[in-house]
């Protein structure tokens, strides 16, 4: 087990993204329903958010509900939506206390009206938070993000607000749901799965991947620290050689 004292506070990733996976398997191992795993994951979320803020992470994005998750059994989806409302309502005071701003990305219009109301209220109440921004990816997928960005960009080109020659990586990024947010420098995925599951497809181009076999309900602040330490031990080359980095 690594210690927090080993972390270099001068090399904290500005943006960390997390795929919170394994709730269902965690519950099954204990003879419970999948929703039991989702309920038990709240502590993992709380500790991860608190530790990220304490370490100086500026943006923390949690993959809370993907567009593909709508294909799950109706009872599980309904329970997830109810849990989402309850959790947002319960945790807003803590976000305010810690000056954490809440944002969301995804097709929010597809969420139940109660979820939309709770989310909008929490975002309004926390909008002046300056310590960290917590981004919830809800009804989100990377392909949805790229599709809606392409549509908006095409509309602006058709309307003459943007010239085709002006379309580049920077301009396209401005149409994504994450516009104004730096690309993640670190992606954490629990449960040992070796894929990114349609999450932030454009934004993860040069992100460091950290995969742990831990199931999400068991994830705690010390595990977040371990992910940060693993990130700090890597050499980020962005296509260059180690020798080029040494002289730059």
Work out the burial of residue 83: count CB atoms within 10 Å of its CB; fewer than 13 is exposed, 13-18 middle, 19 or more buried: middle
Round the average pLDDT of the chain to a whole number and report it. 94
Residues 6+ apart with CB under 8 A from 210: 186, 187, 188, 189, 227, 230, 231
Residue among 21, 23, 145, 183 flagged as catalytic:
21
Measured distance CA(134)–CA(116) in Å, rounded: 17
pLDDT per residue over 52-67, tens digit each?
999 999 999 999 999 9
Asked if residue 164 has pLDDT above 60, the reply is yes
For residue 1, the model assigns a pLDDT of 54
pLDDT over 60 (residue 104): yes
Cβ-based neighbours of 52, under 8 Å, separated by 6 or more: 16, 60, 132, 224
Q: Has residue 244 got a pLDDT over 80?
A: no
pLDDT over threshold 90, residue 240 = no
Residues 8, 11, 69, 183: which is the catalytic one? 69
Question: Taking 90 as the threshold, does the pLDDT of residue 216 lie above it?
Answer: yes
Average pLDDT over residues 130-158: 97
Nearest C-alpha neighbor of 232 from the set 3, 13, 2: 13
Q: What residues have CB less than 8 Å from 194, skipping those under 6 apart? A: 211
Which pLDDT does position 243 carry in this prediction?
Answer: 56
Which pLDDT value is given to residue 2?
A: 60
pLDDT of residue 236: 73
The percentage of the chain sitting over the pLDDT mark of 90, rounded to a whole number, equals: 90
Per-residue pLDDT at 227 = 98
Is 21 designated active site? yes
Q: How far apart are CA 156 and CA 150, in angstroms?
A: 10
Q: Please indicate whether residue 69 is annotated as part of the active site.
A: yes
> Is the model's pTM score more than 0.85?
yes
Q: Which has the closest alpha carbon to 91: 118, 61, 52, 67?
A: 118
Q: What percent of the chain has pLDDT over 70?
A: 94
């Amino acid at each position: 087990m690594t210690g927090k004292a080993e972390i270099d506070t001068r090399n904290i990733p500005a943006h960390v993204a997390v795929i919170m996976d394994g709730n269902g398997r965690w519950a099954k191992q204990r003879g419970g329903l999948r929703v039991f795993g989702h309920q038990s994951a709240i502590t993992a979320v709380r500790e991860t958010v608190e530790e990220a803020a304490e370490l100086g992470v500026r943006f923390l994005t949690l993959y809370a509900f993907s567009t593909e998750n709508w294909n799950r059994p109706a009872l599980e989806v309904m329970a997830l939506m109810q849990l989402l409302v309850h959790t947002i309502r319960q945790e807003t005071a803590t976000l305010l206390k810690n000056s954490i701003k809440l944002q969301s990305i995804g097709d929010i219009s597809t969420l139940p009206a109660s979820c939309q109301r709770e989310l909008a209220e929490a975002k309004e109440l926390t909008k002046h938070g300056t310590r960290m921004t917590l981004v919830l990816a809800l009804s989100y997928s990377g392909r949805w993000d790229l599709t809606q960005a392409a549509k908006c960009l095409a509309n602006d080109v058709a309307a003459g607000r943007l010239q085709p020659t002006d379309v580049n990586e920077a301009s396209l990024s401005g149409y994504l749901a994450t516009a104004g947010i730096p690309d993640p420098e670190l992606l954490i995925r629990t449960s040992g799965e070796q894929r990114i599951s349609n999450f932030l497809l454009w934004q993860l181009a040069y992100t460091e991947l950290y995969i742990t076999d831990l199931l999400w309900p068991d994830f705690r602040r010390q595990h977040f620290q371990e992910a940060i330490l693993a990130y700090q031990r890597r050499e980020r080359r962005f296509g260059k050689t180690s020798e080029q980095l040494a002289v730059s």
